[in-house]
Amino acid sequence: MQYDVIDARISPNGSLDVLSRLEVSKLLNASQGELYPLFRNSSLAVLNYGGHLDDGRELLERYKNFDIRVIQEERGIKLDLRNAPASAFVDGKMIKGINEHLFAVLRDIVYVDDTINNNPRFDLATSDGITNAIFHILRNAGIMRPRTNPRLVVCWGGHSITPAEYDYSKEVGHQLGLRNLDICTGCGPGAMKGPMKGATIGHAKQRNPNCQYLGITEPGIIASESPNPIVNDLVIMPDIEKRLEAFVRTGHAIVVFPGGVGTAEEILYILGILLDPENSRIPLPLICTGPASASGYFEQIDRFITDTLGPVARQLYRIIIDDPEAVAHQIQEGIDQVRQFRRKTDDAYYFNWLLTIHLNFQLPFEPTHENMRSLDLRKGQPPHLLASHLRRAFSGIVAGNVKEAGILAIEEKGLFELRGETRIMQPLDTLLTAFVEQRRMKLPTSTYNPCYRLIAEDE
C-alpha cells in the first residue's frame, strides 16, 4: 500500500532558533552519525500523528524511504525532510505544533547524548545522579514553571480505549481545566489525548491563556504513542524509567484511566514508590477513574493489587467511577495538601526533590529472556520491592507487544517466561487474561498473540 509523502525544508520555532557554531556542529553530527537512527525513527513517529499503530516496525516499514537531515545555514539550521508523511502538512506547510515537536526531538536527543551520557557530573549508577540528570533534561526542555503554584495533573491510561472511556477522560479533563489545572500525559492518543482535549475547553471558558499540556515520552514507545497535537511542551526522556520518574517529579497529582499493560506498569511504579516507608509522609493524590462501563476493569486492578501487594497498597489510591466532577474535587483538594507540604518543607513546587526513588525503580530494565526469567515474583519481600519486580514484568510485556527490540527478541527466542509463586502468578494470569479478553493488549482490530508464558514455581 502506498502512503502520501512530501519533501520539505523547515526552520526551528523555539529553543533552537539561536545557536552557536559549536551547537550547530553537534546537531550536524547527530543527523549524520550514530545518533541518526534514533533521531530518524523518533522524528518519523512525531510526523506520523494520527496513524495509530501498535508495532513500531510497521511504521518504519510503511515509510522506509523517509530521511531527515540537519542542514547548516548562516543563521542556524534547518531540517531537510524526504518522503515525510503528508498528514503532517497543510497546503504544503508543516503544522506548527508538529514543527515544534520535531525540533524537541532533536533538542532532547542531542542534549542527552552530549551533556548527560558519559559526563562525570551525572553519575547514572547512583540514585541521586539519575534524578539530577532527569532534572537537567527537563530544565533544558524549558518545561518547568518555578513561579507557579502546584497545578500539574499527570493523567495515565491506554492509547487504545473505548469511545466511552475516551469521552469520559475528556470530561475529567474539562473539569480539571475549569479549575485551572494543567495536564501532563504520555502525549499519545486515547487516554493521553482525552484529558488534554477536555482541558482546552475548560481553560478557554476560564480565559486561561497560560495553559500547559506537557507530554513526556521515550524513544522505545513513541512510534505507537505519537505525540498528539495538543501537547505544547514535549520532552523525550532516554528510557521508560526516566520517563516514569519525570512524571512523578513534575506532577502534583495522578489520575489513572483504563488502559492495558502499560497502564498497569505505571500503577505499579507509583504504588512501589508510595509504599516505600521513606515516602510515607509525602502527599501525592492518586485516583483511578473511568465511566460505569470500566468499573469491572478497576475491580480487577484493585483485586490484583490487594492479592499481590496487600491491603496496605489499597489505602494509597481511591477509585471513583462515573463522576468527573468528584475526581476534579478530590484532585484539587489533594493538590492543596501538596502545596501546603511543599511550603512547610521548603521543597520546590516544580520538582519533587523530597520523594525517594531507589535504584530498583531507576535503572533501565532490559527485557531480555534471561532478565524476565530472573524477576523475583514471590511474596515474603517488602511490598515496594515486589512492586518494582512486577513493574518490570509488565514493562517486558509492553516491549514484547509493541517495541521493535522486544518483538525481535520474541521472534528469535520464543516467548518471555515469567516465573514465581502461585500466589503471585495466579492473580497475574487473571489480570492479563482479562486484558486480552477486553482487547487492551493491542488495538481493537488486532488479534493478540501473547509474548509471555507464566510458570508457577512454588517451593
* pLDDT at residue number 26: 64
The whole model's pTM is what? 0.92
* pLDDT at residue number 107: 86
Residue 86 CA: distances (Å) to CA of 89, 95, 198, 223, 452: 6, 11, 27, 17, 37
Phi, psi of 235 (to 5 degrees): -130, 130
| Cα–Cα nearest to 448, from 415, 413, 405 | 415
Phi, psi of 53 (to 5 degrees): -130, 155
Residues 6 or more apart whose Cβ sits within 8 Å of residue 315? none
| Cα–Cα nearest to 248, from 237, 260, 232, 261 | 237
pLDDT tens string 204-215:
999 999 999 999
pLDDT tens string 378-422:
999 999 999 999 999 999 998 888 787 888 899 999 999 999 999
* DSSP collapsed to 3 states, 42-55: HHHHHHCCCCCCCC
* pLDDT at residue number 169: 98
End-to-end CA distance of the chain: 54
| 3-state SS, residue 143 | coil
| Site of grid cell 526551528 | 12
Domains of the chain: 5-119 (3.30.1850.10), 120-459 (3.40.50.450)
* pLDDT at residue number 402: 79
* pLDDT at residue number 278: 97
* pLDDT at residue number 122: 92
Instruction: Give strand pairing partners of 80.
Output: 9, 69
Segments of the chain with pLDDT less than 50: none
* pLDDT at residue number 53: 56
* pLDDT at residue number 135: 97
* pLDDT at residue number 208: 93
CA distance 370 to 358: 23
